[in-house]
Amino acid sequence: MSSKLFICIVTTSLLFGLSSNPAVASQKEELGNNYSKITKICEIRKNANVYFGKTVHIRGVYKTDHSSYSFIFDKSCSTMKTINVADAFRSNGDSGVIDFLKRDKEACPVNGPSVCPTEMEVDAVVKICKQPDGKLFLDFKKILGPPPGRL
């Protein structure tokens, strides 16, 4: 996993809330069209060279077992529905990302098994990165909140 980190280093500032939040409105201006347009995971995977290195707005279900996998699942796609997520233990995201990952981990029992499958809806700004083997993955930059209509 550490080989992913040298390809995609993300620096961010604090942002956590829904789109009605003034801080989010300010970030919307900074991110421009990347914020207003939700990019589907299947579109990213189909056009990998277009999206590599870009920051985009995605929605989906974050799934992890806290040990061997973590990915975003986009149920609106008919094929190529998933994309891996950068190692959550070494996240380069802002404090909203850290809080999101912490809440996800807290869903597992304290003295439970080390492998604990969980899933959470997510509305996020991510950077599209590439592993040395050419496979895409994403790194959370900002968690904008749960998708609209989900709390």
Q: What is the CATH number of the domain that holds 114?
A: 2.40.50.140
pLDDT tens digits, 89-144: 566 778 888 888 888 888 887 776 778 898 889 999 999 999 889 899 999 999 98
For residue 151, tell me if it sits in a domain: no
CA dihedral sign of residues 42, 45, 48, 51? positive
For residue 45, tell me if it sits in a domain: yes
For residue 98, tell me if it sits in a domain: yes
pLDDT tens digits, 44-81: 999 999 999 999 999 999 999 888 899 999 999 999 99
For residue 150, tell me if it sits in a domain: no
Domain holding 29, by residue range, is: 2-145
Statement: residue 36 has pLDDT above 90: no
Domains: count for the chain:
1
For residue 14, tell me if it sits in a domain: yes
**Section 8-35 average pLDDT:** 39
- For residue 58 the two structure tokens come to 């995605």
For residue 54, tell me if it sits in a domain: yes
> What is the number of residues in the chain?
151
For residue 52, tell me if it sits in a domain: yes
Q: Is the pTM of this model over 0.95?
A: no
pLDDT band for 148, please (50, 70, 90 cuts).
low
Are residues 51 and 128 in contact, defined by beta-carbon separation less than 8 angstroms?
Answer: yes
CA distance 48 to 54: 10
Q: Are strands 136-145 and 82-85 parallel, antiparallel or unpaired?
A: parallel
Give the per-residue pLDDT at 57.
Answer: 95
Are residues 75 and 61 in contact, defined by beta-carbon separation less than 8 angstroms?
Answer: yes
